Amino acid sequence: MESCCDRVLLVLIATSALIIHTIYAQDQDQEDFINLDCGLPSYERSPYKASTGLWFSSDEKFIQSGNTGRIREIPVGFTKQYETLRYFPNGSRNCYNLSVDKGRKYLIRTVFLYGNYDGLNIKPVFDIYLGPNLWATIDLVTRVNGTQPEILHIPTSSSLQICLVKTGTTTPVISTLELRPMVSSSSYMTESGSLKLYNRYYLNNTGYRIRYSSDVYDRIWLRLFMKEWTQISTSLNVNNSNRYVPPQVALKNAATPTNASAPLTIEWSSEKADDQYYLYSHFAEIQDLQTNETREFNMVWNENLYYGPLIPNKLQLTTIRSQSPTTCKGGKCSFQLIRTNRSTLPPLLNAFEIYTVIQFPQSETDESDVAAVKDIEATYGLSRLNWQGDPCVPQQFRWDGLNCSNTDMSTPPRITTLNLSSSGLAGTIAAVVQNLTQLETLDLSNNNLTGGVPDFLVNMKSLLVINLSRNNLTGSIPQALQREGLKLFVEGNPRLCLSDSCAKPQKNKKIVPVVASVASAAIVIVVLVVLFVLKKGKSAILQGLHLLPRTSTMNATFAEKNSRRFTYSEVIKMTNNFQRILGKGGFGMVYHGFVNGSEQVAVKVLSQSSTQGYKEFKAEVDLLLRVHHTHLVSLVGYCYEGDNLALVYEFLSNGDLKQHLSGKGGRSIINWSTRLQIALEAASGLEYLHIGCTPPMVHRDIKTANILLDENLKAKLADFGLSRSFQGGGESHDTAVAGTLGYLDPEYNHSGRLGEKSDVYSFGIVLLEMITNQPVINQTSNNSHITQCVGFKLNRGDIAEIMDPNLHKDYDFNSAWRALELAMSCANPSSSKRPSMSQVINEIKECLVCAKSGIGKNLELEPQEIMSSDTSMVPMAR
């Protein structure tokens, strides 16, 4: 027989084991927690133990941007982890990158507190994104004491990105960032979407908030009690071991209706009529019932039976959860516990949680593509402010140098273009590039890359364009890369050669560079000299000789790139004897044509009467041989046969921007957000000319007629006949001022000093034209120039009077104001006061964010108060 001492010993051992297991479990749980004190310097006692028992660490290793600050005004009840913050004055999107377990459910909580850290007392409003999807709008003007949005979410990749997005003029801030993995994957299930916390309460007439370590998941439980209720309590433990594990201390108390015949009713107002709710109710019988006593009740939601009858188990947790999301009629939500006829006791409720459904419809970029582009970033030590968050989506935050596949929101985007031209790359071409398996365009030009052209490029079957020009590559080009359908650009690598010329070197034969053939160059030079002598006389000879050194390079370069030098007869054939005119410019007429019977092209033919024809031809070919950008029109080929000069471009089916603003030629009137997107793309092409080219280039003729649109309204700059190089960071003197009246920089026009800010002025006029749809010069008005007209109306302060009436006021007013201010800033008469194109791009991106959030009327997701009470969020007793 077991002795009393033996039983006591067994109880002590079991109790000790339980205590040890509990401590170990808590330690293990906290080891999985992520607790970031944002803005805390890593050298300043990191990690440290907060008053809650949680260990907090600096956020430095999880984000690459932002500044640190300390709040000046700390609300009562806030502890150490809220003393510091991180703020983001630069960039539109700044993101934390956290490693998580893909497919595991997490409680994610962020805390935002302004605390007048900057002494300006300007409280910010901004957005927070979870990956590529909007999570919440953070409004610290309304929420003076801070906010803490919280969701239950399952990451779809092993990297979780939490991004702060600037939506106005104020600066985003963040105080803490917390992640808690949920042990049970079957808890808090939804039909679709994630769960945003609406409220979480335990029912007690005294007490404080409950969180870790009382709650193993560190859920925060607020106290709720109404005057119509009576409290019941127990000192005994309640078995809370189900998948939800509400805290023991919350279950030791419960509320019942003081009027035993009345229902226990909780009501709240829905934020939106179509909000969908999930309700989790926690019950445990904590009273000793007599044999003749029964507690039984039904659960009713909006007058419909929700569950029942229920008899709570003695000191044993029962959780009733929603099987599917429920909406509330008329925005009024009512949850009632109604005793049954055979019940002798009123219903009780210990605790409950209310969540709303939040959908994150936009799929993240393919995980393997994200890993590949981050490896490329690490390999070359790239540091770009906007390379944060998802690389492809949302589109307005897409990383510089990338294009991605346009798929539906449910399909992960794939990276199709990688443009790292003029990025200071050194070393060999990284093998990780081949992990971008859907890549169509690879541009690594204008860098310091060394080594050979790697064989793995041969296996990237989706590649259509490879630009490796102007590097220091050596060896031979793999034969398989010289295939039909692949455009390969390799000029400017003097030690790079064709495979045949490398394989069989001869004693008196130098290696033939890819960029030119000496023999063909000599022939072309002789032919051109004779032609110029016969046709143009002495002055033409001088002009022709100025062009000749580039001409031989052009011929060979086109041949090596699978681009073509066309004969004049071929030009006649491709244009069907110049049948269809697309437009007319200073160079000459532009015709529609076909190459190979199927590929549409635009053919610009030199007019014999053009005084600048040869200059424009040289400038345009010279530029387009060197630059390749997704927002610059690409050159298909050329014709140089006697006096017959022609340039063959890709065809853009939607014509030019000017036609779409006016609606001429049956063109559609484009909406506001599309206009901003076109402005952003045009600005990106212009920025590339200014800082991506070596030497830098100015376009000199930016206007709406020179912004062409493809079938998807993607914008590309065209007409580079007036383009000129300039010294980076400075200006050059141009005695022959050129440009289009109205768009021409007045400072450049008067002084002849040419710089990138001259293009900025022209772009500002384009932006004003897109905003107002008014002529750049109106001879019938006292304020003849568009800047004068807009400036006059600006003094009245009425944006609607300025905006294009064809938009029918279908635009976000904040976005319109910002775009207008940007345009006027670009068109400032003083070049020193104009922004750079990089600054213009950042501002247009923010205008786009405003435009889409305004027109789309995105939900303003109200986070829960931290310290102060908000009666609109608190369920009320009836």
Give per-residue pLDDT as tens, 330-340: 889 999 999 99
Quickly tell me which residue has 């963040």 as its tokens: 174
pLDDT of residue 500: 54
> How do 724-725 and 697-698 pair as beta strands?
antiparallel
Closest Cα to residue 240, out of 218, 216, 262? 216
pLDDT of residue 136: 96
pLDDT of residue 815: 87
Burial (CB count <10 Å: 0-12, 13-18, 19+), residue 144: middle
- pLDDT over 60 at 87, yes or no: yes
**How far from the centroid of its chain's Cα atoms is residue 728's Cα?**
29
- Taking residues 91-118, what's their average pLDDT? 95
Quickly tell me which residue has 């859907």 as its tokens: 438
Residues facing 278 on adjacent strands: 355
- pLDDT over 60 at 498, yes or no: yes
Average pLDDT value over all residues in the chain: 83
pLDDT of residue 773: 93
pTM over 0.75: no
- pLDDT over 70 at 730, yes or no: no
The Cα–Cα gap between 859 and 838 comes to 31
User: Regarding predicted confidence, which is higher, 625 or 204?
Assistant: 204
- pLDDT over 50 at 825, yes or no: yes
pLDDT of residue 628: 77
Q: Answer whether 365's CB lies under 8 Å from 358's CB.
A: no
Which pLDDT tens digit goes with each residue over 321-370?
Answer: 988 899 998 889 999 999 999 999 999 999 999 999 999 999 999 999 99
Residue 842 per-residue DSSP state: H
Across 84-88, 449-453, 464-468, 508-512, least confident range? 508-512
Which pLDDT tens digit goes with each residue over 831-844?
Answer: 888 999 999 998 99
Q: At 275, is the secondary structure helix, strand, or coil?
A: coil
pLDDT of residue 434: 96
Mean pLDDT: which of 291-300, 403-412, 660-669 is highest?
Answer: 291-300
Q: At 646, is the secondary structure helix, strand, or coil?
A: strand
Across 15-19, 38-42, 332-336, 814-818, least confident range? 15-19
The Cα–Cα gap between 304 and 324 comes to 14
Beta carbons within 8 Å of 811's beta carbon, 6+ residues apart: 671, 672, 673, 803, 851, 854, 855
Report the 10 Å Cβ neighbour count for 747: 19
The Cα–Cα gap between 493 and 388 comes to 33
Q: What is the DSSP string of 90-141?
A: SSSEEEEEEE--TT--EEEEEEB--TTTTSS----EEEEEETTEEEEEEETT
Binding residue numbers for ATP: 604
Residue 197 per-residue DSSP state: E
Q: What percent of the chain has pLDDT over 90?
A: 56
| pLDDT bucket at 555, cuts 50 / 70 / 90 | very low
**Catalytic residue numbers?**
701
Q: What is the CA radius of gyration of the chain?
A: 35
- pLDDT over 90 at 856, yes or no: no
Summarize the chain as % helix, strand, coil (round to 5).
30, 25, 45
Which pLDDT tens digit goes with each residue over 750-791?
Answer: 888 888 899 999 999 999 999 999 999 987 777 789 999 898
Burial (CB count <10 Å: 0-12, 13-18, 19+), residue 585: middle
- Taking residues 475-486, what's their average pLDDT? 88
pLDDT of residue 614: 67
- Taking residues 31-52, what's their average pLDDT? 88
| pLDDT bucket at 499, cuts 50 / 70 / 90 | low
Closest Cα to residue 441, out of 630, 237, 714? 630
Which pLDDT tens digit goes with each residue over 426-439?
Answer: 999 999 999 999 99
Which pLDDT tens digit goes with each residue over 630-639?
Answer: 899 888 888 8
Binding residue numbers: 604
pLDDT of residue 596: 81
